[in-house]
Structure 1
Protein backbone atom coordinates (compact mmCIF):
# COMPACT_ATOMS: atom_id res chain seq x y z
CA UNK A 1 0.00 0.00 0.00
CA UNK A 2 1.25 3.48 -0.87
CA UNK A 3 2.60 5.52 2.03
CA UNK A 4 0.22 8.27 0.91
CA UNK A 5 -2.87 6.10 1.33
CA UNK A 6 -2.29 4.01 4.46
CA UNK A 7 -4.56 4.99 7.37
CA UNK A 8 -3.07 6.82 10.33
CA UNK A 9 -5.29 5.47 13.10
CA UNK A 10 -3.80 7.78 15.72
CA UNK A 11 -4.97 10.83 13.74
CA UNK A 12 -8.24 9.41 12.45
CA UNK A 13 -11.86 10.45 12.93
CA UNK A 14 -15.05 8.43 12.53
CA UNK A 15 -17.69 9.90 10.19
CA UNK A 16 -21.09 8.27 10.72
CA UNK A 17 -23.39 8.98 7.79
CA UNK A 18 -27.20 9.37 8.01
CA UNK A 19 -27.87 6.86 10.78
CA UNK A 20 -31.30 8.33 11.48
CA UNK A 21 -34.54 6.58 12.36
CA UNK A 22 -36.29 7.33 9.06
CA UNK A 23 -33.48 5.68 7.11
CA UNK A 24 -33.68 2.32 8.88
CA UNK A 25 -35.94 1.18 6.04
CA UNK A 26 -33.04 1.38 3.59
CA UNK A 27 -31.80 -2.11 2.83
CA UNK A 28 -29.07 -3.30 5.18
CA UNK A 29 -29.11 -0.29 7.50
CA UNK A 30 -30.58 -2.05 10.54
CA UNK A 31 -28.04 -4.84 10.07
CA UNK A 32 -25.03 -2.51 10.38
CA UNK A 33 -26.21 -0.78 13.58
CA UNK A 34 -24.15 -3.09 15.88
CA UNK A 35 -20.93 -2.45 13.94
CA UNK A 36 -21.47 1.32 13.79
CA UNK A 37 -22.24 1.36 17.51
CA UNK A 38 -19.04 -0.60 18.25
CA UNK A 39 -16.98 1.76 16.10
CA UNK A 40 -18.35 4.87 17.81
CA UNK A 41 -17.63 3.39 21.24
CA UNK A 42 -14.09 2.45 20.21
CA UNK A 43 -13.32 5.91 18.82
CA UNK A 44 -14.58 7.51 22.04
CA UNK A 45 -12.45 5.17 24.14
CA UNK A 46 -9.42 6.02 21.99
CA UNK A 47 -10.03 9.76 22.39
CA UNK A 48 -10.60 10.17 18.65
CA UNK A 49 -13.25 12.45 17.13
CA UNK A 50 -16.69 11.19 16.12
CA UNK A 51 -18.94 13.12 13.72
CA UNK A 52 -22.58 12.15 13.19
CA UNK A 53 -23.65 13.52 9.82
CA UNK A 54 -27.40 14.01 9.40
CA UNK A 55 -29.88 15.05 6.73
CA UNK A 56 -32.84 17.31 7.54
CA UNK A 57 -35.63 17.97 5.05
CA UNK A 58 -37.87 20.86 6.06
CA UNK A 59 -40.91 20.57 3.76
CA UNK A 60 -40.35 22.70 0.67
CA UNK A 61 -36.61 23.08 1.29
CA UNK A 62 -34.43 23.60 -1.77
CA UNK A 63 -31.98 21.15 -0.17
CA UNK A 64 -34.28 18.17 -0.57
CA UNK A 65 -32.58 16.05 -3.22
CA UNK A 66 -34.42 15.96 -6.55
CA UNK A 67 -35.18 12.20 -6.30
CA UNK A 68 -36.96 12.77 -2.97
CA UNK A 69 -38.95 15.92 -3.76
CA UNK A 70 -41.98 13.88 -4.78
CA UNK A 71 -42.22 12.28 -1.32
CA UNK A 72 -45.04 13.70 0.80
CA UNK A 73 -44.08 14.05 3.53
CA UNK A 74 -40.33 13.78 3.00
CA UNK A 75 -38.24 11.77 5.47
CA UNK A 76 -36.21 13.31 8.32
CA UNK A 77 -38.46 16.34 8.77
CA UNK A 78 -37.03 18.47 11.62
CA UNK A 79 -38.88 17.87 14.87
CA UNK A 80 -40.10 14.40 13.97
CA UNK A 81 -38.87 11.20 15.65
CA UNK A 82 -37.65 9.96 12.28
CA UNK A 83 -35.04 12.71 12.07
CA UNK A 84 -33.30 11.64 15.28
CA UNK A 85 -30.11 9.58 15.48
CA UNK A 86 -30.79 5.86 15.87
CA UNK A 87 -30.92 5.00 19.56
CA UNK A 88 -27.67 3.70 21.02
CA UNK A 89 -25.26 5.23 18.51
CA UNK A 90 -24.62 8.26 20.71
CA UNK A 91 -25.53 9.52 24.15
CA UNK A 92 -29.29 10.17 24.19
CA UNK A 93 -29.74 13.70 22.89
CA UNK A 94 -32.45 15.57 21.03
CA UNK A 95 -31.18 17.19 17.88
CA UNK A 96 -31.16 20.98 17.89
CA UNK A 97 -32.64 21.37 14.44
CA UNK A 98 -32.40 25.16 14.30
CA UNK A 99 -28.71 25.05 15.25
CA UNK A 100 -27.93 22.31 12.76
CA UNK A 101 -29.79 23.94 9.88
CA UNK A 102 -27.80 27.12 10.53
CA UNK A 103 -24.67 25.14 9.64
CA UNK A 104 -23.24 25.02 13.14
CA UNK A 105 -22.23 21.74 14.81
CA UNK A 106 -24.11 20.42 17.83
CA UNK A 107 -21.63 19.15 20.44
CA UNK A 108 -22.77 15.95 22.14
CA UNK A 109 -19.52 14.82 23.81
CA UNK A 110 -15.77 15.35 23.92
CA UNK A 111 -14.80 15.87 20.25
CA UNK A 112 -18.15 14.37 19.25
CA UNK A 113 -20.61 16.41 17.23
CA UNK A 114 -23.66 16.24 15.03
CA UNK A 115 -23.39 18.13 11.74
CA UNK A 116 -26.05 18.76 9.09
CA UNK A 117 -25.13 18.27 5.47
CA UNK A 118 -27.43 19.85 2.89
CA UNK A 119 -26.59 17.42 0.08
CA UNK A 120 -24.98 14.01 -0.55
CA UNK A 121 -21.39 14.69 0.51
CA UNK A 122 -20.49 15.59 4.11
CA UNK A 123 -17.89 18.14 2.98
CA UNK A 124 -20.21 20.08 0.67
CA UNK A 125 -21.31 23.42 2.20
CA UNK A 126 -20.26 22.33 5.70
CA UNK A 127 -17.42 23.12 8.10
CA UNK A 128 -16.36 19.47 8.35
CA UNK A 129 -12.97 20.02 6.69
CA UNK A 130 -11.91 22.81 9.04
CA UNK A 131 -13.34 21.03 12.11
CA UNK A 132 -11.28 17.93 11.36
CA UNK A 133 -8.09 19.84 10.57
CA UNK A 134 -8.34 21.83 13.80
CA UNK A 135 -8.08 18.46 15.56
CA UNK A 136 -5.14 17.20 13.52
CA UNK A 137 -7.17 14.61 11.63
CA UNK A 138 -5.65 13.27 8.41
CA UNK A 139 -7.64 10.02 8.08
CA UNK A 140 -11.43 9.77 7.76
CA UNK A 141 -13.17 6.51 8.57
CA UNK A 142 -16.64 6.29 7.05
CA UNK A 143 -19.54 4.11 8.18
CA UNK A 144 -23.31 4.38 8.06
CA UNK A 145 -26.20 4.43 5.65
CA UNK A 146 -26.48 3.80 1.93
CA UNK A 147 -23.09 3.53 0.22
CA UNK A 148 -24.22 4.50 -3.31
CA UNK A 149 -25.24 7.96 -2.14
CA UNK A 150 -23.86 9.82 0.87
CA UNK A 151 -20.95 7.64 2.08
CA UNK A 152 -19.62 7.42 -1.48
CA UNK A 153 -19.91 11.18 -2.05
CA UNK A 154 -18.25 11.83 1.31
CA UNK A 155 -15.30 9.56 0.47
CA UNK A 156 -14.78 11.29 -2.86
CA UNK A 157 -14.93 14.66 -1.08
CA UNK A 158 -12.41 13.50 1.51
CA UNK A 159 -10.05 12.23 -1.19
CA UNK A 160 -10.31 15.53 -3.05
CA UNK A 161 -9.12 17.24 0.14
CA UNK A 162 -6.17 14.86 0.59
CA UNK A 163 -7.51 12.99 3.59
CA UNK A 164 -6.55 9.34 3.86
CA UNK A 165 -9.80 7.41 3.52
CA UNK A 166 -11.26 4.24 4.99
CA UNK A 167 -14.59 2.58 4.25
CA UNK A 168 -15.68 0.17 6.99
CA UNK A 169 -17.16 -2.38 4.62
CA UNK A 170 -19.21 -4.32 7.19
CA UNK A 171 -20.54 -1.11 8.81
CA UNK A 172 -22.18 0.56 5.80
CA UNK A 173 -25.41 -0.41 4.10
CA UNK A 174 -25.94 -1.26 0.42
CA UNK A 175 -22.39 -2.28 -0.43
CA UNK A 176 -21.60 -4.23 -3.58
CA UNK A 177 -18.46 -5.44 -5.31
CA UNK A 178 -18.83 -2.81 -8.01
CA UNK A 179 -19.21 0.06 -5.54
CA UNK A 180 -16.30 -1.10 -3.42
CA UNK A 181 -14.07 -1.44 -6.50
CA UNK A 182 -15.08 2.06 -7.61
CA UNK A 183 -13.87 3.51 -4.31
CA UNK A 184 -10.75 1.35 -4.12
CA UNK A 185 -9.74 2.82 -7.47
CA UNK A 186 -9.37 6.26 -5.86
CA UNK A 187 -7.34 4.92 -2.94
CA UNK A 188 -10.02 4.21 -0.35
CA UNK A 189 -8.92 1.51 2.12
CA UNK A 190 -11.46 -1.30 2.65
CA UNK A 191 -11.34 -2.42 6.28
CA UNK A 192 -13.71 -4.35 8.54
CA UNK A 193 -14.90 -3.16 11.95
CA UNK A 194 -12.68 -5.45 14.00
CA UNK A 195 -9.54 -4.33 12.17
CA UNK A 196 -10.38 -0.64 12.65
CA UNK A 197 -10.92 -1.17 16.37
CA UNK A 198 -7.67 -3.12 16.65
CA UNK A 199 -5.79 -0.31 14.91
CA UNK A 200 -6.97 2.50 17.18
CA UNK A 201 -4.62 3.76 19.89
CA UNK A 202 -5.32 2.43 23.35
Structure 2
Protein backbone atom coordinates (compact mmCIF):
# COMPACT_ATOMS: atom_id res chain seq x y z
CA UNK A 1 0.00 0.00 0.00
CA UNK A 2 1.45 3.32 -1.07
CA UNK A 3 0.86 6.88 0.07
CA UNK A 4 -1.20 8.99 -0.08
CA UNK A 5 -3.30 6.94 2.30
CA UNK A 6 -7.09 7.01 2.24
CA UNK A 7 -7.77 6.91 5.96
CA UNK A 8 -11.03 6.78 7.87
CA UNK A 9 -10.53 10.29 9.21
CA UNK A 10 -13.44 11.29 11.43
CA UNK A 11 -13.83 13.60 14.44
CA UNK A 12 -13.22 10.50 16.58
CA UNK A 13 -10.19 9.06 14.77
CA UNK A 14 -8.12 12.07 13.68
CA UNK A 15 -4.96 12.54 15.71
CA UNK A 16 -4.59 15.47 18.08
CA UNK A 17 -1.04 16.62 17.45
CA UNK A 18 -0.80 18.56 20.69
CA UNK A 19 -1.83 15.60 22.87
CA UNK A 20 0.08 12.83 21.16
CA UNK A 21 2.77 10.39 22.32
CA UNK A 22 5.15 8.32 20.23
CA UNK A 23 5.45 4.59 20.98
CA UNK A 24 8.69 3.11 19.65
CA UNK A 25 8.35 -0.66 19.75
CA UNK A 26 11.26 -3.07 20.34
CA UNK A 27 14.03 -1.09 18.63
CA UNK A 28 16.65 -3.13 20.44
CA UNK A 29 19.96 -4.38 19.08
CA UNK A 30 18.97 -8.03 18.83
CA UNK A 31 16.16 -7.07 16.44
CA UNK A 32 17.19 -3.68 15.09
CA UNK A 33 20.91 -4.07 14.38
CA UNK A 34 22.39 -6.28 11.67
CA UNK A 35 24.78 -7.72 14.28
CA UNK A 36 21.90 -8.72 16.55
CA UNK A 37 20.64 -12.22 17.24
CA UNK A 38 17.47 -11.86 15.15
CA UNK A 39 17.83 -8.83 12.86
CA UNK A 40 14.87 -7.87 10.74
CA UNK A 41 15.37 -7.96 6.94
CA UNK A 42 14.44 -4.33 6.20
CA UNK A 43 16.55 -2.47 8.75
CA UNK A 44 18.58 -0.43 6.27
CA UNK A 45 15.43 1.43 5.26
CA UNK A 46 13.39 1.34 8.45
CA UNK A 47 15.86 2.42 11.15
CA UNK A 48 16.64 5.81 9.54
CA UNK A 49 12.91 6.49 9.23
CA UNK A 50 12.37 5.52 12.87
CA UNK A 51 15.08 8.00 13.83
CA UNK A 52 13.44 10.67 11.69
CA UNK A 53 10.08 10.18 13.40
CA UNK A 54 11.73 10.28 16.83
CA UNK A 55 13.43 13.54 15.88
CA UNK A 56 10.07 15.07 14.93
CA UNK A 57 8.63 14.24 18.35
CA UNK A 58 11.73 15.52 20.11
CA UNK A 59 11.49 18.75 18.17
CA UNK A 60 7.82 19.08 19.08
CA UNK A 61 8.65 18.40 22.75
CA UNK A 62 6.12 15.57 22.91
CA UNK A 63 6.47 12.38 24.99
CA UNK A 64 8.32 9.39 23.56
CA UNK A 65 8.10 5.90 25.07
CA UNK A 66 10.61 3.26 23.98
CA UNK A 67 8.83 -0.03 24.66
CA UNK A 68 11.15 -3.01 25.10
CA UNK A 69 11.26 -6.74 25.68
CA UNK A 70 13.59 -8.36 28.23
CA UNK A 71 13.79 -12.16 28.38
CA UNK A 72 15.15 -13.61 31.61
CA UNK A 73 17.63 -16.42 31.01
CA UNK A 74 15.50 -18.90 32.95
CA UNK A 75 12.54 -18.16 30.67
CA UNK A 76 10.23 -17.33 33.57
CA UNK A 77 8.86 -14.16 31.98
CA UNK A 78 8.82 -15.33 28.36
CA UNK A 79 5.63 -15.83 26.34
CA UNK A 80 4.38 -19.44 26.29
CA UNK A 81 4.89 -19.56 22.52
CA UNK A 82 8.63 -18.91 22.98
CA UNK A 83 9.44 -20.25 26.44
CA UNK A 84 10.18 -23.82 25.35
CA UNK A 85 12.64 -22.63 22.71
CA UNK A 86 14.45 -20.47 25.26
CA UNK A 87 14.62 -23.28 27.80
CA UNK A 88 16.15 -25.58 25.15
CA UNK A 89 18.70 -22.95 24.19
CA UNK A 90 17.22 -22.39 20.73
CA UNK A 91 16.24 -18.80 21.52
CA UNK A 92 18.53 -16.24 23.07
CA UNK A 93 17.52 -12.64 22.65
CA UNK A 94 17.14 -9.40 24.63
CA UNK A 95 18.63 -10.99 27.75
CA UNK A 96 18.83 -8.32 30.49
CA UNK A 97 22.24 -6.68 30.66
CA UNK A 98 23.40 -7.84 27.22
CA UNK A 99 24.27 -5.63 24.26
CA UNK A 100 21.38 -7.19 22.36
CA UNK A 101 18.85 -5.93 24.88
CA UNK A 102 19.93 -2.29 24.58
CA UNK A 103 18.22 0.35 22.47
CA UNK A 104 19.60 0.77 18.97
CA UNK A 105 22.21 3.48 19.45
CA UNK A 106 20.75 5.90 16.91
CA UNK A 107 17.41 5.93 18.75
CA UNK A 108 18.85 6.49 22.23
CA UNK A 109 18.96 10.18 23.21
CA UNK A 110 21.62 9.81 25.90
CA UNK A 111 23.34 6.49 25.28
CA UNK A 112 22.24 5.32 28.72
CA UNK A 113 22.02 1.58 29.28
CA UNK A 114 18.72 0.05 30.24
CA UNK A 115 18.10 -0.36 33.96
CA UNK A 116 16.87 -3.91 33.59
CA UNK A 117 16.15 -4.43 37.28
CA UNK A 118 13.92 -1.37 37.51
CA UNK A 119 12.22 -2.06 34.19
CA UNK A 120 11.43 -5.66 35.08
CA UNK A 121 9.96 -4.39 38.36
CA UNK A 122 7.49 -2.31 36.36
CA UNK A 123 9.18 1.08 36.66
CA UNK A 124 9.60 3.42 33.72
CA UNK A 125 13.17 4.54 33.06
CA UNK A 126 13.55 8.24 32.31
CA UNK A 127 16.10 9.02 29.61
CA UNK A 128 15.21 12.70 29.32
CA UNK A 129 12.32 14.73 30.79
CA UNK A 130 10.18 13.69 27.79
CA UNK A 131 11.65 10.34 26.81
CA UNK A 132 11.20 7.06 28.67
CA UNK A 133 11.70 3.32 28.46
CA UNK A 134 8.95 0.84 29.38
CA UNK A 135 9.26 -2.95 29.66
CA UNK A 136 6.36 -5.02 28.35
CA UNK A 137 6.03 -8.69 29.34
CA UNK A 138 3.92 -9.65 26.31
CA UNK A 139 3.27 -8.49 22.74
CA UNK A 140 1.12 -5.48 23.66
CA UNK A 141 2.69 -2.36 25.12
CA UNK A 142 -0.44 -1.97 27.27
CA UNK A 143 -0.56 -5.48 28.77
CA UNK A 144 0.46 -5.46 32.47
CA UNK A 145 2.28 -2.12 32.10
CA UNK A 146 1.76 1.44 33.32
CA UNK A 147 1.46 2.87 29.80
CA UNK A 148 -2.22 3.76 30.04
CA UNK A 149 -1.66 5.52 33.37
CA UNK A 150 1.31 7.38 31.86
CA UNK A 151 -0.78 8.64 28.94
CA UNK A 152 -3.80 9.51 31.07
CA UNK A 153 -1.73 11.45 33.61
CA UNK A 154 -0.50 13.68 30.78
CA UNK A 155 -3.89 14.15 29.15
CA UNK A 156 -2.81 12.39 25.96
CA UNK A 157 -5.51 10.97 23.71
CA UNK A 158 -3.43 10.11 20.62
CA UNK A 159 -0.51 7.77 19.94
CA UNK A 160 1.72 7.22 16.94
CA UNK A 161 3.21 3.73 16.75
CA UNK A 162 6.43 2.71 14.99
CA UNK A 163 9.02 -0.02 15.36
CA UNK A 164 9.58 -3.78 15.26
CA UNK A 165 7.73 -5.83 14.07
CA UNK A 166 4.51 -4.87 12.30
CA UNK A 167 2.76 -8.29 12.44
CA UNK A 168 3.54 -8.85 16.12
CA UNK A 169 4.19 -6.17 18.72
CA UNK A 170 3.30 -3.16 16.57
CA UNK A 171 -0.06 -4.74 15.74
CA UNK A 172 -0.65 -5.73 19.37
CA UNK A 173 0.02 -2.16 20.53
CA UNK A 174 -2.37 -0.80 17.91
CA UNK A 175 -5.19 -3.15 18.84
CA UNK A 176 -4.79 -2.39 22.54
CA UNK A 177 -4.69 1.36 21.91
CA UNK A 178 -7.76 1.18 19.70
CA UNK A 179 -9.62 -0.88 22.31
CA UNK A 180 -8.91 1.90 24.81
CA UNK A 181 -10.32 4.55 22.46
CA UNK A 182 -7.01 6.24 21.73
CA UNK A 183 -6.61 7.98 18.41
CA UNK A 184 -3.95 5.93 16.66
CA UNK A 185 -1.47 6.79 13.93
CA UNK A 186 1.10 4.56 12.29
CA UNK A 187 4.02 5.34 9.97
CA UNK A 188 4.39 2.24 7.75
CA UNK A 189 7.86 3.24 6.56
CA UNK A 190 8.99 3.24 10.20
CA UNK A 191 7.91 -0.37 10.84
CA UNK A 192 9.53 -3.65 9.85
CA UNK A 193 7.76 -6.45 7.95
CA UNK A 194 4.77 -4.37 6.88
CA UNK A 195 2.11 -5.99 4.70
CA UNK A 196 -0.79 -4.44 2.81
CA UNK A 197 -3.44 -6.69 4.34
CA UNK A 198 -2.45 -5.61 7.81
CA UNK A 199 -2.42 -1.94 6.86
CA UNK A 200 -5.90 -2.20 5.38
CA UNK A 201 -7.17 -3.93 8.53
CA UNK A 202 -5.73 -1.10 10.60
CA UNK A 203 -7.37 1.53 8.41
CA UNK A 204 -10.70 -0.21 8.87
CA UNK A 205 -10.24 0.25 12.62
CA UNK A 206 -9.64 3.99 12.25
CA UNK A 207 -5.85 3.98 12.34
CA UNK A 208 -4.35 6.96 10.52
CA UNK A 209 -1.58 5.74 8.23
CA UNK A 210 0.99 8.48 7.74
CA UNK A 211 4.15 9.35 5.88
CA UNK A 212 6.89 11.22 7.69
CA UNK A 213 5.78 14.35 5.82
CA UNK A 214 2.19 13.82 7.00
CA UNK A 215 3.43 13.60 10.56
CA UNK A 216 5.62 16.66 10.18
CA UNK A 217 2.62 18.65 8.95
CA UNK A 218 0.45 17.44 11.83
CA UNK A 219 3.00 18.40 14.45
CA UNK A 220 3.65 21.76 12.82
CA UNK A 221 0.01 22.72 13.45
CA UNK A 222 0.33 22.36 17.23
TM-score normalised by L of structure 1: 0.96
Show the counterpart of 1:157. Answer: 176
Show the counterpart of 1:125. Answer: 144
Is contact 1:29–1:172 with CA below 8 Å preserved after alignment?
A: no
Superposition pairs of residues 17-166 of structure 1, within 5 angstroms: 17-24=25-32, 25-69=39-83, 70-71=85-86, 72=89, 73-91=91-109, 92-166=111-185
Q: Which runs of 5+ in 2 are unaligned?
A: 1-8, 33-38
Query: What secondary structure sits across from 2:186 in the alignment?
Result: strand
Aligned-residue offset at 1:30: 4.0
Residues 81-119 of structure 1, C-alpha deviation per residue, up to 9 Å, x if partnerless? 000000111221110000000010000012210000000
Aligned length: 202
Residues 126-149 of structure 1, C-alpha deviation per residue, up to 9 Å, x if partnerless? 000010111111110000011000
Show the counterpart of 1:6. Answer: 14
Q: What is the distance in 2 between the residues matched to 1:29 and 1:104?
A: 29
Change (3 A) 1:65 1:31: farther
Aligned-residue offset at 1:156: 0.5
Structure 1 or 2, whichever has the larger Rg, is 2
Is contact 1:29–1:144 with CA below 8 Å preserved after alignment?
A: no
Question: Does 2:182 correspond to 1:168?
Answer: no
Is contact 1:29–1:145 with CA below 8 Å preserved after alignment?
A: no
Is contact 1:68–1:74 with CA below 8 Å preserved after alignment?
A: no
CA RMSD of aligned residues (A): 1.3
Q: What is the distance in 2 between the residues matched to 1:135 and 1:90?
A: 22
Query: What secondary structure sits across from 1:131 in the alignment?
Result: helix
Is contact 1:29–1:173 with CA below 8 Å preserved after alignment?
A: yes
